[in-house]
Structure formats: structure tokens, C-alpha cells
């Protein structure tokens, strides 16, 4: 087990930072509604702890009683990880006496095996089976005998907490004057009690308000058996009006960008379909599954396919979380890996505008394609390489699009140097997370390609620099190569590209080795919640 010093080192990988947003522009009643949403959000923390492991709440109480330095350090790291396992270290336990992290979390009967569960599920059919494998039930009962298992809806399993959360959401609904917000809060409160989340997911898609809450059971990652059971989380956020306006401006340029993509004209889409909605918001509370280990900077919901089919899905970008990660992680990285003259151009505006463009560019370029007289999709043809190639596409064509809009006068020319320098620094941040997942591997492809074409160079001191005379051509060439590969559904070429370029070369590794003391991520502190807690104490 890690001792005090190593526990402090592990914890220091998460730099504490305040995450807040201005709310003074909101009318009083909206602010009061917001407070109720924060209270409801905090209940998600309790429920999530219980979902992760049946022993979590008792362990938390025990840790709270231990005021020794080691006890305090354990409690701190427990809160970051929402349990006694270090998520950054393959879930290694850091408190003595706890079991391995259960893959089944607390969603399935303790002591039961996955095989027993599967055997039981196979005896079910119709609606019953649908609920048993669905998002919003837990399975309980004695292990060993399949007949002993029963499913319990979340509304019963977590009845007390959900009743309290529903009451708070109803109070919030009665306070707000914003109709779509009222509709979401009311239908979500209903869902907590009825266990039917469909209408509230639809209402969430239709939210158009200054406050944008996401509260309830959503992501399924914690269920490592079946990825079926939804974990409770909350994001209480305030809409960012300036960035929302920027997004509208960029969205208005998309057809023009498509028409000028650096690919054969026959691969361009003359009529782009409507885009999935994107919201830019600032977080004032993340709780439960939304606040464990590495912080969420953006999410896509809902996960219910019926809702996605009817209404599509929505992407929510947490701008102040991105800004904190930029300041705490990316800027220090840039100071080590970039040449002195490149460092000074790194900016959050460039960073965030490129992220927005990345999201928009997923919608551009080839999707439905024809290969050997068949109609098919890029996803199908590129198989397991698809995610990596598509992420690389969104990044590199995002740079292409920003340059195009700068040349056109839509985006300010002052951003020109910044976008490339910021992208270069950000590449090291992404690769540091590993090239075992699509985003990191996609970044490695771009970094190596741009090094090979001389658009980036390494200085005699071992730092990296943008080559202004070559970067634009490099970006165009790689955009053309990746989008053409997608248009032709060229799996063989995609695999080659991934194998040759999706790697960490020695000179990159040498730079990564110098980043060890830079935090991996942030540990958010929420002043809005601290205010709420001290107000509540004063009332009693």
C-alpha cells in the first residue's frame, strides 16, 4: 500500500483548481432554482459512491474519522477517485483491506459470477429481459441459484435519495421562468420516481436556457461486466453566450468549408445535412460519475438509442474545465516542449476554437461512400482503424478550416500563429495520455506526418517548433490524404498509416520524459457548492 509520501505524490497529479462561472446575470428566481439543482446534484455523489462498491459509504465514514496525516491523505485521494482504487493506476487499491475493484460494481448480486448472470438473463424474455439488461435496474439476490435473482428498478433501489432529488428538481422547476428548463426538471423528477427516463431525455435535447443541467443516471462505463447499467452523475452548468455566438458563426461557414476541402471535387458533399447540436457551457458542479479521476471536458448524450433515433444526440462542451486544463497542464507542457519563440503564441482562444472546429469537422468530409459499386460507410470500411483515422481527420481538417476562415476574414488573423503552436503543444498533452486509444494515436499520426514533411521541426535543444513556411502545405496535404483514404474506404492504407505513424518515436518520448512533474489533470473545487454548504449550515 502507498505510504503517506507516495500517496501525496499520486494526489499531486491532480492540481486543485476553482471551477466557477458568473451567475450574477441571472434573475433571483433563476439563482434560487440553480441552488436546488446543486443540492440535487450532490445527491448523485452519494448514489454513485454506492453504485461503485457496496462498501464505499462505510469506508468513507471510517476515513472521515481518521484525522492522522495518512488518514487525511487517504480521504483526499478517495474523494478524487470515488473509491479506494486509483483510477490513473489501473485501479490499484491504495487503502489496506479493500478487495480488488469489482468489475460488476454494485449493479449485480455480490458473489455471483458473470456466467450465472448470463444464464439467468437467458431465461428471461420480452419486457422482462429488456429491463434486466437495461440502464435503470440493479440485479439482486443470492448467488448460486439462478432463480434467486431479481431485478430492482433504480426508483426502488435508491428510493429515498431519488425522492429527495425529485422534490428539489420540482422546486427548481417551480422557480424558473424558462419553459424548456421547467420541462426538463419536471420530467426528470417524474423519471426518478417512475423509472421511465424517455420523456426527460427528450426534454434534455430540447433545453434552451441560461442554465443547462444534466442530472441522473447516464454513463455505463462503471459496469465493466456488460456496460449496461447507468451510473448517477450531475453537471450543473451555465450557458456561455459569447462562445455560443461564435459557434453559430462557425456553423454558418460549414458548407463553404466543405466546398473548398482539399480533396477531389467528387468526394465533397454538395448538401451537408443538419448538424448535431453543440452547447458551450461553464460548469459550476460536477458530481458522481461526472467527477472522478480525470475530469470530463465534453460529453455526448443521451445514450438511449430510442431518443438518439428520434432527436439525435447533443454535445456539451465544458469551457471552463477546458480552460483549467489548458492553464494547469497545457501551458506548463508548452514551456518545456516548445521552442522559446513558439511558447509565447500558445493561447486558450486558439485551443478552444480548434476544439470547436474539431467537433464541427466530424460532420464534414466523406461518410456514406461507394466502394466497388457498393454503398457503404467510412466506419464500416475502415473497421478497427476508423476511430483513430476519424479523430485525426477532425483535428487536421480543423486546422485547415481555421486557416481557411482566417484567409477569408471570418476569423481574426491574430489567431494564425497561435493555432499551430497551440496544436503542437496540445499534441504532447494528448500523447501523454497514451496512444492506446483513438485520440492519442490519431495525434501521433499527425505529429509524425508534420515532422516528416518539415512542417514541425526539432531544435538543437530538443524542443519543437512550427515551420511557418511549411505548416499550411503540411496541413493541406494530410487533410487530403486522410479524407481521400476515407472517401475510398481504403482499409489497407489506413492500417499502414496507423502502423507507420501512430507511434511514439524516440525524440517524442525524450520530450515526454521531461513532463513527469506536470499535473496530469485537475481536481475541481466548486465555490458555488461551498457557498451552498455554508449557507445551509448557517440556517441550522
Interface pick for Zn ion out of 394, 501, 518, 529 (rule CB under 5 A): 394
Handedness of CA 322, 390, 363, 482 (dihedral sign): positive
Helix, coil or strand: residue 374:
strand
The count of residues interacting with Zn ion (CB under 5 A) is 2
Between helix 386-408 and helix 468-487 the angle, nearest 10°, is 130
Min dist. Cβ of residue 288 to Zn ion (A):
24
Min dist. Cβ of residue 317 to Zn ion (A):
12
Q: Which one, 391 or 523, has the nearer CB to Zn ion?
A: 391
Q: Which one, 67 or 436, has the nearer CB to Zn ion?
A: 436
Helix, coil or strand: residue 466:
strand
Min dist. Cβ of residue 7 to Zn ion (A):
35
Of 20-28, 155-163, 383-391, 520-528, which segment contacts Zn ion by CB under 5 A? Answer: 383-391
Does 286 contact Zn ion by CB under 5 A? no
Min dist. Cβ of residue 362 to Zn ion (A):
6
Min dist. Cβ of residue 353 to Zn ion (A):
15
Does 356 contact Zn ion by CB under 5 A? no
- Burial of residue 228 (number of CB atoms within 10 Å: 0-12, 13-18, 19+): middle
CA 245 to chain CA centroid, nearest Å: 22
Q: Which of 403, 334, 325, 393 is nearest to 364 (CA)?
A: 393
Calculate the dihedral angle through the C-alpha atoms of 158, 160, 161, 165, rounding to the nearest 10 degrees: 120
Q: Which one, 72 or 303, has the nearer CB to Zn ion?
A: 303
Min dist. Cβ of residue 391 to Zn ion (A):
5
Q: Which one, 162 or 394, has the nearer CB to Zn ion?
A: 394
Q: Which one, 151 or 443, has the nearer CB to Zn ion?
A: 443
Q: Which one, 354 or 417, has the nearer CB to Zn ion?
A: 354
Of 18-26, 162-170, 387-395, 526-534, which segment contacts Zn ion by CB under 5 A? Answer: 387-395
Cα distance between residue 42 and residue 219, in whole Å: 17
Whole-angstrom Cα Rg for the chain: 24
Cα distance between residue 219 and residue 136, in whole Å: 11
Mask 398-437, x = binds Zn ion (CB under 5 A)?
Answer: ----------------------------------------
Q: Which one, 285 or 394, has the nearer CB to Zn ion?
A: 394
3-state secondary structure 301-351: ECCCHHHHHHHCCEEEEEHHHHHHHHHHHHHHHHHHHECHHHHCCCCHHHH
Of 133-141, 240-248, 324-332, 386-394, which segment contacts Zn ion by CB under 5 A? Answer: 386-394
Q: Which one, 394 or 402, has the nearer CB to Zn ion?
A: 394
Q: Which one, 80 or 497, has the nearer CB to Zn ion?
A: 497
Of 26-34, 71-79, 206-214, 394-402, which segment contacts Zn ion by CB under 5 A? Answer: 394-402
Q: In sequence order, what DSSP letters do the residues of 109-144 get, joined into one string?
A: -TT--HHHHHHHHHT--HHHHHHHTSTTEEEES-SS
Backbone φ and ψ of 393, nearest 5°: -60, -50
Min dist. Cβ of residue 359 to Zn ion (A):
7
Residue nearest to Zn ion (CB): 394
Cα distance between residue 15 and residue 57, in whole Å: 25
Q: Which of 288, 312, 167 is nearest to 216 (CA)?
A: 288
Handedness of CA 411, 414, 417, 422 (dihedral sign): negative
Of 206-214, 325-333, 363-371, 384-392, which segment contacts Zn ion by CB under 5 A? Answer: 384-392
Binding site for Zn ion (CB under 5 A): 391, 394
Amino acid at each position: 500500500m502507498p505510504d503517506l509520501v507516495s500517496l501525496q505524490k499520486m494526489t499531486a497529479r491532480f492540481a486543485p483548481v476553482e471551477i466557477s462561472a458568473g451567475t450574477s446575470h441571472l434573475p433571483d428566481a433563476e439563482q434560487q432554482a440553480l441552488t436546488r439543482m446543486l443540492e440535487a446534484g450532490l445527491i448523485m455523489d452519494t448514489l454513485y459512491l454506492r453504485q461503485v462498491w457496496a462498501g464505499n459509504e462505510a469506508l468513507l465514514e471510517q476515513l472521515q474519522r481518521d484525522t492522522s496525516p495518512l488518514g487525511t491523505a487517504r480521504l483526499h485521494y478517495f474523494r478524487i477517485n470515488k473509491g479506494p482504487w486509483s483510477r490513473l493506476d489501473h485501479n490499484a487499491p491504495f487503502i489496506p483491506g479493500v478487495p480488488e475493484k469489482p468489475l460488476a460494481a454494485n449493479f449485480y448480486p455480490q458473489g455471483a459470477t458473470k456466467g450465472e448472470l448470463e444464464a439467468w438473463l437467458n431465461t428471461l424474455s420480452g419486457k422482462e429481459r429488456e429491463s434486466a439488461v437495461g440502464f435503470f435496474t440493479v440485479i439482486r439476490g443470492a448467488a448460486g441459484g439462478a432463480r434467486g435473482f431479481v431485478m430492482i428498478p433504480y426508483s426502488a433501489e435508491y428510493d429515498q435519495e431519488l425522492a429527495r432529488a425529485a422534490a428539489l428538481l420540482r422546486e427548481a422547476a417551480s422557480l424558473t421562468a424558462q419553459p424548456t428548463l421547467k420541462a426538463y426538471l419536471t420530467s426528470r423528477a417524474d423519471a426518478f420516481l417512475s423509472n421511465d427516463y424517455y420523456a426527460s431525455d427528450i426534454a434534455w435535447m430540447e433545453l434552451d436556457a441560461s442554465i443547462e443541467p444534466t442530472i441522473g443516471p447516464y454513463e455505463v462505463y462503471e459496469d465493466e461486466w456488460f456496460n449496461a447499467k447507468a451510473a448517477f452523475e450531475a453537471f450543473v452548468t451555465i450557458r456561455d453566450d459569447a462562445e455560443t455566438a461564435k459557434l453559430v458563426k462557425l456553423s454558418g461557414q460549414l458548407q463553404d468549408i466543405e466546398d473548398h476541402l482539399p480533396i477531389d471535387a467528387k468526394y465533397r458533399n454538395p448538401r451537408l445535412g443538419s448538424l448535431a447540436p453543440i452547447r458551450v457551457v461553464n460548469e459550476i458542479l460536477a458530481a458522481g460519475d461526472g467527477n472522478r479521476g480525470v475530469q470530463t471536458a465534453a460529453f455526448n448524450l443521451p445514450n438511449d438509442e430510442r431518443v438518439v433515433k428520434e432527436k439525435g444526440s447533443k454535445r456539451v462542451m465544458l469551457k471552463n474545465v477546458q480552460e483549467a486544463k489548458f492553464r494547469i497542464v497545457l501551458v506548463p507542457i508548452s514551456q518545456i516542449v516548445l521552442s522559446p519563440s513558439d511558447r509565447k503564441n500558445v493561447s486558450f482562444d486558439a485551443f478552444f476554437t480548434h476544439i470547436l472546429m474539431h467537433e464541427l469537422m466530424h460532420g464534414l468530409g466523406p461518410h456514406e461512400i461507394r466502394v466497388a459499386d457498393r454503398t457503404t460507410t467510412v466506419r464500416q470500411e475502415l473497421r478497427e482503424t476508423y476511430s483513430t483515422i476519424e479523430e485525426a481527420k477532425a483535428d487536421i481538417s480543423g486546422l485547415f478550416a481555421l486557416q481557411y476562415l482566417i484567409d477569408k476574414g471570418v476569423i481574426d488573423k491574430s489567431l494564425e500563429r497561435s493555432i499551430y503552436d497551440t496544436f503542437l503543444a496540445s499534441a504532447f498533452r494528448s500523447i501523454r495520455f497514451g496512444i492506446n486509444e483513438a485520440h492519442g494515436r490519431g495525434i501521433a499520426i499527425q505529429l509524425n506526418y508534420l515532422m516528416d514533411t518539415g512542417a514541425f521541426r526539432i531544435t538543437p535543444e530538443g524542443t519543437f517548433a512550427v515551420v511557418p513556411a511549411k505548416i499550411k502545405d503540411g496541413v493541406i496535404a494530410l487533410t487530403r490524404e486522410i479524407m481521400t483514404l476515407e472517401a475510398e474506404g481504403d482499409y489497407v492504407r489506413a492500417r499502414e498509416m496507423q502502423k507507420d505513424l501512430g507511434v511514439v518515436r524516440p525524440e517524442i518520448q525524450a520530450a515526454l520524459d521531461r513532463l513527469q512533474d506536470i499535473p496530469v489533470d485537475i481536481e475541481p473545487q466548486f465555490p458555488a457548492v461551498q457557498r451552498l454548504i455554508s449557507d445551509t449550515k448557517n440556517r441550522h
